[in-house]
């Protein structure tokens, strides 16, 4: 089974791993901030490994994808990868690198954390030693080999083990200081059987409620028998769609599924494409609920209208459909964001779609008397109104406007730069919906 784990790296190259149920908090608890690359804890890491074909004693292309290894973001930190050791020595069997050289090895590294990968060549001399069941690849230092995102290692022509079954090869990365980090993967070898290997080739990085996302995939039969299998889409473990695929050996096909997230989905959903033999998974996180627009965006403008809006908030976001009681805005952003000096309740407009006995109603909600200053404020909604928000596809569910164009009032924009601000809807019984968004001044 292939799994993609998105784990925050500590900016250091060390022998560290997290189990499948570990959290970033547990990583923080396990790793100190000292940059001495000591081995703190030896835990199993998991990588993705595809093999085509999967038949025994056959030259094959093995492609590794590591998703939970990062080595910092600055090459001057001396955290660059120097060598990669691939160990295919198993109890009673082995794969073989015999006959291969550096031209059969492809290494691609995301060095900036932006998803793009740079080819890194393997030296023909030095520590490079390709042969037998264990091979060492000495990476060229130009360009730098800092890993800020994913790494892909492709081995073209490695001979699969001579027996069938499941094996656990490993990769060990060593930096210029001699410190190491290791990962393992599952390798399944079959004879006289099909093996349908799914790969998710494209999925959005984020989703919004009620907007369909597309999941593109490839299915390859890496076994040696023709077969027909059902390919399934699972979202958080629940099957949402399926299709039937027939493939001859060493033949692949592509397809796509779609899924429409709902307000009941968590802030991150596990998207899985699975066959009868294997699966591939990606995590898709919920995107911004709110947007913010500035009019004007001019840096230093003292009467800029700030309009917050969201069309994905509904009563299900609040316990038992409780009313929205107050709305907080926070522009602090290291004490340099927008300010609300001199504004009062007359400068604040709140519109929302409410669920009334006669159906959805779009109304302007009064704000109780108050004066605002500084970079934070709480808008106390009038209790005269029912404010149990509902979803209406024809309108933004809620719009909060700071500033009154008729009176030439508004927020004061900060100096030219990019900033973040947070809005929080507070339910009367303690439920909250909060979102942090970016905005620019020009």
Contacts of residue 89, defined as CB under 8 A and 6 or more positions apart, other chains included, come to: 133, 134
Residues 437/337, Cβ–Cβ less than 8 Å: no
Q: Is 68 helix (H, G, I), strand (E, B) or coil?
A: coil
Residues 90/163, Cβ–Cβ less than 8 Å: no
pLDDT at 274: 98
Could you tell me the residue ranges of all domains in the chain?
Answer: 24-189, 196-286, 290-441
CA atoms of 425 and 365, how far apart (whole Å): 14
CA atoms of 402 and 293, how far apart (whole Å): 10
pLDDT at 395: 61
Beta bridge partners of 292: 308
pLDDT at 434: 87
Residues 133/97, Cβ–Cβ less than 8 Å: yes
Decide if domain 290-441 falls under CATH 2.10.70.
no
pLDDT at 46: 85
pLDDT at 289: 81
Q: 400: closest CA among 361, 347, 440? A: 347
Decide if domain 196-286 falls under CATH 2.60.40.10.
yes
Residues in the chain predicted with pLDDT less than 50, given as ranges, are 1-43, 73-78
Q: How far is CA 278 from the centre of its chain?
A: 22
pLDDT at 171: 96
The total number of residues shown for the chain amounts to 442
- Domain 196-286 in the same topology as domain 24-189: yes
b/e per residue, 119-152, with b = 16+ CB within 10 A?
ebbbeeeeebebeebbbbbbbeeeebbbbbbbbb
Residues 267/383, Cβ–Cβ less than 8 Å: no
The fold for domain 24-189 equals: Immunoglobulin-like (2.60.40)
**Peptide bond preceding 202 in cis form (omega within 30 of 0):** no
Residues 319/430, Cβ–Cβ less than 8 Å: yes
């Amino acid at each position: 089974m292939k799994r993609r784990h998105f784990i925050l790296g500590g900016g250091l190259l060390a022998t560290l791993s997290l189990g499948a149920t570990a959290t970033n908090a547990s990583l923080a608890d396990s790793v100190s901030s000292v940059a001495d690359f000591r081995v703190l804890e030896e835990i199993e890491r998991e990588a993705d490994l595809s093999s085509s074909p999967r038949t025994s004693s056959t030259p094959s292309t093995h492609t590794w994808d590591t998703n939970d290894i990062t080595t910092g973001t600055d090459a001057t930190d001396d955290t660059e990868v120097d060598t990669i050791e691939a160990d295919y020595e198993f109890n009673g069997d082995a794969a073989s690198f015999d006959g291969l050289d550096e031209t059969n090895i492809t290494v691609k590294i995301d060095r900036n954390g932006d998803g793009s990968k740079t080819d890194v060549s393997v030296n023909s001399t030095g520590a490079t030693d390709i042969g037998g069941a264990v091979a060492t690849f000495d990476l060229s230092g130009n360009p730098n080999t800092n890993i800020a995102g994913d790494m892909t290692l492709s081995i073209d022509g490695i001979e699969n083990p001579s027996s069938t079954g499941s094996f656990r090869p490993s990769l060990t990365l060593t930096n210029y200081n001699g410190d190491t980090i290791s990962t393992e993967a599952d390798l399944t070898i079959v004879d006289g059987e099909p093996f349908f290997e799914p790969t998710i080739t494209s999925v959005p990085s984020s989703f919004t409620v009620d907007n369909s996302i597309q999941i593109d995939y490839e299915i390859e039969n890496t076994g040696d028998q023709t077969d027909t299998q059902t390919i399934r889409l699972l979202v958080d473990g629940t099957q949402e769609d399926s299709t039937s695929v027939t493939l001859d050996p060493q033949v692949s096909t592509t397809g796509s599924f779609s899924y429409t997230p709902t307000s009941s989905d968590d802030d991150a959903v596990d998207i899985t494409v699975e066959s009868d033999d294997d699966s591939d998974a990606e995590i898709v996180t919920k995107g911004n609920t709110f947007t913010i627009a500035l009019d004007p965006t001019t840096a230093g403008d003292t009467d800029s209208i700030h309009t917050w809006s969201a069309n994905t908030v509904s009563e299900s976001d609040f316990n038992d459909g409780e009313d929205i009681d107050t709305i907080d805005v926070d522009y602090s952003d290291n004490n340099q964001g927008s300010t609300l000096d001199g504004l009062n309740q007359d400068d604040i407009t709140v519109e929302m779609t409410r669920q009334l006995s006669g159906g959805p109603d779009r109304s302007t909600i009064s704000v109780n008397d108050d004066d605002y200053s500084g970079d934070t404020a709480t808008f106390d909604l009038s209790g005269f109104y029912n404010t149990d928000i509902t979803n209406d596809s024809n309108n933004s569910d809620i719009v909060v406007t700071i500033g009154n164009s008729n009176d030439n009032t508004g927020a004061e924009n900060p100096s030219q730069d990019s900033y973040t601000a947070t809005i929080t809807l507070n339910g009367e019984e303690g439920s909250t919906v909060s979102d942090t968004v970016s905005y620019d001044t020009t």
